[in-house]
Protein backbone atom coordinates (compact mmCIF):
# COMPACT_ATOMS: atom_id res chain seq x y z
CA UNK A 1 0.00 0.00 0.00
CA UNK A 2 1.02 3.61 -0.53
CA UNK A 3 0.80 4.91 3.02
CA UNK A 4 1.25 8.55 1.94
CA UNK A 5 -2.42 8.55 0.90
CA UNK A 6 -3.72 7.01 4.11
CA UNK A 7 -4.49 8.68 7.40
CA UNK A 8 -2.64 7.67 10.57
CA UNK A 9 -5.04 5.51 12.58
CA UNK A 10 -2.74 4.61 15.45
CA UNK A 11 0.26 6.47 16.76
CA UNK A 12 2.51 5.21 19.54
CA UNK A 13 4.92 7.74 21.03
CA UNK A 14 7.76 6.83 23.37
CA UNK A 15 5.84 3.98 25.00
CA UNK A 16 7.33 2.63 28.22
CA UNK A 17 6.10 -0.45 30.03
CA UNK A 18 7.54 -1.97 33.17
CA UNK A 19 6.65 -5.07 35.14
CA UNK A 20 7.68 -4.25 38.72
CA UNK A 21 11.13 -2.74 38.17
CA UNK A 22 11.83 -4.50 34.88
CA UNK A 23 11.54 -2.46 31.68
CA UNK A 24 9.84 -4.45 28.94
CA UNK A 25 9.03 -1.70 26.42
CA UNK A 26 11.64 1.00 26.32
CA UNK A 27 10.47 3.90 24.18
CA UNK A 28 8.48 2.42 21.29
CA UNK A 29 7.50 4.77 18.45
CA UNK A 30 5.17 3.68 15.66
CA UNK A 31 2.61 5.07 13.24
CA UNK A 32 0.05 2.73 11.71
CA UNK A 33 -1.84 3.99 8.69
CA UNK A 34 -5.37 3.00 7.76
CA UNK A 35 -5.26 -0.22 5.72
CA UNK A 36 -1.70 -1.01 6.71
CA UNK A 37 -0.51 -4.41 7.96
CA UNK A 38 2.33 -4.29 10.48
CA UNK A 39 3.95 -7.58 11.47
CA UNK A 40 5.79 -7.46 14.78
CA UNK A 41 8.81 -9.75 14.98
CA UNK A 42 11.52 -10.25 17.56
CA UNK A 43 13.16 -12.78 19.87
CA UNK A 44 11.14 -14.50 22.56
CA UNK A 45 10.48 -12.18 25.50
CA UNK A 46 11.32 -8.95 23.61
CA UNK A 47 7.90 -7.47 24.35
CA UNK A 48 5.76 -8.20 21.25
CA UNK A 49 2.66 -9.46 23.08
CA UNK A 50 3.03 -6.78 25.73
CA UNK A 51 2.97 -4.12 23.01
CA UNK A 52 -0.33 -5.41 21.59
CA UNK A 53 -1.81 -5.75 25.07
CA UNK A 54 -0.93 -2.13 25.88
CA UNK A 55 -2.84 -1.01 22.77
CA UNK A 56 -5.98 -2.70 24.01
CA UNK A 57 -5.74 -1.48 27.59
CA UNK A 58 -4.93 -4.94 28.94
CA UNK A 59 -1.71 -3.58 30.45
CA UNK A 60 -1.09 -0.28 32.20
CA UNK A 61 1.79 1.77 30.82
CA UNK A 62 4.39 3.83 32.65
CA UNK A 63 5.19 6.45 30.03
CA UNK A 64 4.46 7.76 26.55
CA UNK A 65 1.25 8.16 24.60
CA UNK A 66 -0.99 6.09 22.35
CA UNK A 67 -3.27 7.98 19.98
CA UNK A 68 -6.05 6.05 18.29
CA UNK A 69 -8.22 7.80 15.74
CA UNK A 70 -7.03 11.12 17.17
CA UNK A 71 -7.80 10.27 20.80
CA UNK A 72 -5.35 9.41 23.56
CA UNK A 73 -5.61 5.95 25.12
CA UNK A 74 -3.61 6.99 28.14
CA UNK A 75 -4.98 8.13 31.50
CA UNK A 76 -7.94 7.39 33.73
CA UNK A 77 -10.62 8.82 31.44
CA UNK A 78 -10.31 6.36 28.57
CA UNK A 79 -13.59 4.59 27.83
CA UNK A 80 -12.13 1.13 27.22
CA UNK A 81 -15.48 -0.50 26.58
CA UNK A 82 -16.02 1.87 23.65
CA UNK A 83 -12.40 1.72 22.47
CA UNK A 84 -12.23 -2.08 22.48
CA UNK A 85 -15.12 -2.16 20.03
CA UNK A 86 -12.83 -0.42 17.54
CA UNK A 87 -9.70 -2.41 18.39
CA UNK A 88 -10.39 -6.11 17.86
CA UNK A 89 -7.97 -8.57 19.40
CA UNK A 90 -7.48 -12.30 18.85
CA UNK A 91 -5.34 -14.36 21.22
CA UNK A 92 -3.37 -17.58 21.03
CA UNK A 93 -5.91 -19.40 23.23
CA UNK A 94 -9.12 -18.32 21.43
CA UNK A 95 -10.86 -17.18 24.65
CA UNK A 96 -14.28 -18.39 23.46
CA UNK A 97 -16.93 -18.90 26.14
CA UNK A 98 -17.10 -22.71 26.55
CA UNK A 99 -20.74 -22.82 27.68
CA UNK A 100 -21.99 -20.89 24.64
CA UNK A 101 -22.45 -22.10 21.09
CA UNK A 102 -20.46 -20.58 18.24
CA UNK A 103 -23.27 -18.22 17.25
CA UNK A 104 -23.93 -17.21 20.87
CA UNK A 105 -20.24 -16.38 21.26
CA UNK A 106 -20.35 -14.24 18.12
CA UNK A 107 -23.61 -12.42 18.86
CA UNK A 108 -22.83 -11.58 22.49
CA UNK A 109 -20.70 -8.44 21.97
CA UNK A 110 -22.66 -6.85 19.11
CA UNK A 111 -26.02 -7.32 20.92
CA UNK A 112 -25.07 -6.75 24.58
CA UNK A 113 -22.32 -4.17 24.18
CA UNK A 114 -23.22 -2.45 20.90
CA UNK A 115 -27.00 -2.76 21.39
CA UNK A 116 -27.48 -3.83 17.79
CA UNK A 117 -30.53 -5.63 16.37
CA UNK A 118 -30.25 -9.41 16.53
CA UNK A 119 -31.49 -9.84 12.94
CA UNK A 120 -28.86 -7.51 11.51
CA UNK A 121 -26.01 -9.04 13.54
CA UNK A 122 -27.17 -12.54 12.61
CA UNK A 123 -26.95 -11.64 8.92
CA UNK A 124 -23.42 -10.30 9.35
CA UNK A 125 -22.38 -13.33 11.45
CA UNK A 126 -23.76 -15.69 8.80
CA UNK A 127 -21.77 -13.95 6.07
CA UNK A 128 -18.59 -13.98 8.15
CA UNK A 129 -18.99 -17.66 9.03
CA UNK A 130 -19.42 -18.41 5.35
CA UNK A 131 -16.26 -16.48 4.56
CA UNK A 132 -14.21 -18.61 6.96
CA UNK A 133 -15.89 -21.84 5.81
CA UNK A 134 -17.73 -22.59 9.06
CA UNK A 135 -21.42 -21.89 8.30
CA UNK A 136 -22.31 -25.41 9.35
CA UNK A 137 -20.78 -25.05 12.84
CA UNK A 138 -22.85 -22.22 14.27
CA UNK A 139 -24.67 -24.43 16.79
CA UNK A 140 -21.54 -26.30 17.91
CA UNK A 141 -19.86 -25.68 21.24
CA UNK A 142 -16.17 -24.73 21.26
CA UNK A 143 -15.20 -28.16 22.67
CA UNK A 144 -16.63 -29.76 19.51
CA UNK A 145 -14.28 -27.78 17.24
CA UNK A 146 -10.66 -28.22 16.21
CA UNK A 147 -8.10 -25.59 17.25
CA UNK A 148 -8.08 -24.09 13.75
CA UNK A 149 -11.88 -23.90 13.73
CA UNK A 150 -11.94 -22.29 17.19
CA UNK A 151 -9.45 -19.70 16.05
CA UNK A 152 -11.47 -18.88 12.92
CA UNK A 153 -14.54 -18.43 15.14
CA UNK A 154 -12.55 -16.14 17.45
CA UNK A 155 -11.63 -14.05 14.39
CA UNK A 156 -15.26 -13.90 13.25
CA UNK A 157 -16.34 -12.87 16.75
CA UNK A 158 -13.89 -9.97 16.70
CA UNK A 159 -14.83 -8.94 13.14
CA UNK A 160 -18.54 -8.91 13.96
CA UNK A 161 -17.91 -5.85 16.18
CA UNK A 162 -16.78 -3.96 13.02
CA UNK A 163 -13.38 -2.98 14.45
CA UNK A 164 -11.16 -0.39 12.77
CA UNK A 165 -8.01 -2.35 13.53
CA UNK A 166 -7.34 -5.99 14.36
CA UNK A 167 -4.55 -7.16 16.67
CA UNK A 168 -3.43 -10.79 16.32
CA UNK A 169 -1.27 -12.18 19.08
CA UNK A 170 0.42 -15.41 17.96
CA UNK A 171 -2.91 -16.82 16.84
CA UNK A 172 -1.44 -19.96 15.31
CA UNK A 173 1.05 -20.76 18.07
CA UNK A 174 -1.19 -23.32 19.76
CA UNK A 175 -2.29 -25.03 16.54
CA UNK A 176 -1.22 -28.29 14.96
CA UNK A 177 0.70 -27.57 11.73
CA UNK A 178 -2.12 -28.71 9.46
CA UNK A 179 -4.45 -26.12 10.99
CA UNK A 180 -2.09 -23.17 10.77
CA UNK A 181 -2.74 -22.55 7.06
CA UNK A 182 -6.53 -22.26 7.39
CA UNK A 183 -6.16 -19.50 9.99
CA UNK A 184 -3.41 -17.64 8.13
CA UNK A 185 -5.51 -17.72 4.95
CA UNK A 186 -8.33 -15.92 6.76
CA UNK A 187 -5.90 -13.20 7.86
CA UNK A 188 -4.44 -12.91 4.35
CA UNK A 189 -8.01 -12.45 3.08
CA UNK A 190 -8.55 -9.62 5.56
CA UNK A 191 -5.35 -7.94 4.39
CA UNK A 192 -6.60 -8.08 0.79
CA UNK A 193 -9.81 -6.39 1.87
CA UNK A 194 -7.84 -3.52 3.41
CA UNK A 195 -8.21 -4.31 7.12
CA UNK A 196 -5.68 -2.45 9.28
CA UNK A 197 -3.79 -5.03 11.33
CA UNK A 198 -0.94 -5.55 13.75
CA UNK A 199 0.20 -9.15 13.83
CA UNK A 200 2.61 -10.92 16.17
CA UNK A 201 3.68 -14.19 14.59
CA UNK A 202 6.50 -16.69 14.37
CA UNK A 203 5.43 -17.76 10.86
CA UNK A 204 8.09 -16.09 8.73
CA UNK A 205 6.68 -17.03 5.29
CA UNK A 206 3.33 -15.61 6.33
CA UNK A 207 4.97 -12.47 7.76
CA UNK A 208 6.69 -11.88 4.45
CA UNK A 209 3.48 -12.40 2.49
CA UNK A 210 1.10 -10.32 4.59
CA UNK A 211 3.17 -7.40 5.92
CA UNK A 212 3.38 -3.90 4.53
CA UNK A 213 6.05 -3.23 7.13
CA UNK A 214 7.98 -5.35 9.59
CA UNK A 215 8.52 -3.93 13.07
CA UNK A 216 11.49 -5.74 14.58
CA UNK A 217 11.72 -5.31 18.34
CA UNK A 218 14.67 -6.31 20.47
CA UNK A 219 14.92 -5.82 24.22
CA UNK A 220 11.88 -3.56 24.24
CA UNK A 221 13.16 -1.16 21.56
CA UNK A 222 12.36 -0.74 17.88
CA UNK A 223 15.45 -2.16 16.29
CA UNK A 224 14.29 -2.02 12.67
CA UNK A 225 11.27 -0.93 10.70
CA UNK A 226 11.33 -1.91 7.07
CA UNK A 227 9.44 -3.35 4.16
CA UNK A 228 9.35 -7.16 4.25
CA UNK A 229 11.46 -7.67 1.13
CA UNK A 230 14.20 -5.52 2.58
CA UNK A 231 13.95 -7.02 6.06
CA UNK A 232 14.14 -10.63 4.90
CA UNK A 233 16.87 -10.16 2.31
CA UNK A 234 18.99 -7.40 3.74
CA UNK A 235 18.27 -6.64 7.42
CA UNK A 236 19.87 -3.45 8.70
CA UNK A 237 21.04 -4.78 12.05
CA UNK A 238 23.05 -7.74 13.22
CA UNK A 239 20.36 -8.58 15.78
CA UNK A 240 17.78 -8.93 13.02
CA UNK A 241 20.16 -11.09 10.98
CA UNK A 242 20.74 -13.34 14.00
CA UNK A 243 17.00 -13.60 14.51
CA UNK A 244 16.46 -14.54 10.85
CA UNK A 245 19.25 -17.12 10.97
CA UNK A 246 17.21 -19.06 13.54
CA UNK A 247 14.45 -19.32 10.95
CA UNK A 248 17.02 -20.16 8.24
CA UNK A 249 16.49 -16.97 6.28
N1 LIG B 1 2.35 -10.25 33.71
C2 LIG B 1 3.68 -10.20 33.68
N3 LIG B 1 4.41 -10.01 34.81
C4 LIG B 1 5.75 -9.92 34.78
N5 LIG B 1 6.50 -10.06 33.66
C6 LIG B 1 5.83 -10.27 32.49
C7 LIG B 1 4.40 -10.36 32.45
N8 LIG B 1 4.04 -10.57 31.17
C9 LIG B 1 5.18 -10.63 30.44
N10 LIG B 1 6.25 -10.44 31.25
C11 LIG B 1 7.66 -10.41 30.81
O12 LIG B 1 7.82 -9.36 29.88
C13 LIG B 1 8.69 -9.74 28.83
C14 LIG B 1 7.99 -9.56 27.51
O15 LIG B 1 6.96 -10.52 27.39
P16 LIG B 1 6.11 -10.70 26.07
O17 LIG B 1 5.12 -11.79 26.31
O18 LIG B 1 5.60 -9.38 25.64
O19 LIG B 1 7.23 -11.17 25.05
P20 LIG B 1 7.09 -11.72 23.57
O21 LIG B 1 8.05 -10.96 22.74
O22 LIG B 1 5.67 -11.68 23.14
O23 LIG B 1 7.59 -13.21 23.74
P24 LIG B 1 7.18 -14.58 23.00
O25 LIG B 1 7.60 -14.45 21.58
O26 LIG B 1 7.99 -15.61 23.73
O27 LIG B 1 5.71 -14.75 23.19
C28 LIG B 1 9.12 -11.18 29.12
O29 LIG B 1 10.37 -11.16 29.73
C30 LIG B 1 8.08 -11.68 30.08
O31 LIG B 1 8.61 -12.63 30.95
Q: How many domains does the chain have?
A: 1
pTM for this prediction: 0.95
Residue 57 counted as domain residue: yes
- Residue in 193, 194, 203 with CA at minimum distance from that of residue 228: 203
Residue 70 counted as domain residue: yes
Q: Longest C-alpha distance within the chain, in Å?
A: 55
Res 228: pLDDT: 97
Residue 2 counted as domain residue: no
Residue 1 counted as domain residue: no
Atom of ligand 1 nearest to the CA of 202: 25
CA atoms of 197 and 166, how far apart (whole Å): 5
**Domain with 71 in it:** 8-246
Res 247: pLDDT: 85
CA 24 to centroid of ligand 1, rounded, Å: 8
Res 119: pLDDT: 97
Whether the ipTM is more than 0.90: the answer is: yes
Res 3: pLDDT: 60
CATH number at 178 reads 3.40.50.300
Atom of ligand 1 nearest to the CA of 173: 27
Res 4: pLDDT: 59
Res 2: pLDDT: 61
Q: Which residues line ligand 1 (CB under 6 A)?
A: 19, 24, 42, 44-50
| Ranges of the chain whose pLDDT falls below 50 | none
Residue 204 counted as domain residue: yes
Res 248: pLDDT: 75
Q: Which of 23, 42, 46 to mutate to test ligand 1, by most ligand atoms within 8 A of the CB atom? A: 46
Amino acid sequence: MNKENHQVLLEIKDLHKEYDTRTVLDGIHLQVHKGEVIVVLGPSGCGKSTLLRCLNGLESIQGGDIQFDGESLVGPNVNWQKTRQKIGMVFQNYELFPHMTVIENILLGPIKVQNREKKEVMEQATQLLERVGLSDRKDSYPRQLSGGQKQRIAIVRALCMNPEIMLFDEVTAALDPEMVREVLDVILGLAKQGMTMMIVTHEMGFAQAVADRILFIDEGKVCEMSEPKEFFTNPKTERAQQFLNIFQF
